[in-house]
Amino acid sequence: MRVRNFETIDQWRGKMSQRNVKDPTLFERANYIKVLKGYNIPKIDARYRSKTTRHYDF
């Protein structure tokens, strides 16, 4: 905080607010990408797969 010349945490929070960003859509996109990067696709156990989900026959 000293490097950025902030005296209180509230000043820091104000800088990080979406309202104070020049382009709020970039703020939203950055948060969206952050969420996607943190998402893990759950593994499906082969024993519980339904045989009716196949849409093809070989």
CA–CA separation, 51 vs 58, rounded Å? 14
Query: Scanning the structure block, which residue is given the tokens 């996109």?
Result: 29
| pTM for the predicted model, two decimal places | 0.42
Is residue 18 a part of any domain in this protein?
A: yes
Judge whether 21 and 27 are in contact, CB under 8 Å: yes
CA–CA separation, 17 vs 5, rounded Å? 17
Q: Which domain holds residue 22?
A: 9-48
Is residue 39 a part of any domain in this protein?
A: yes
pLDDT at res. 40: 80
User: How many domains are contained in the chain?
Assistant: 1
pLDDT digits (tens, 9 = 90+) for 7-45: 888 888 877 777 887 888 888 898 899 998 988 877 776
DSSP reduced 3-state for 39:
coil
CA–CA separation, 19 vs 21, rounded Å? 6
Is residue 55 a part of any domain in this protein?
A: no
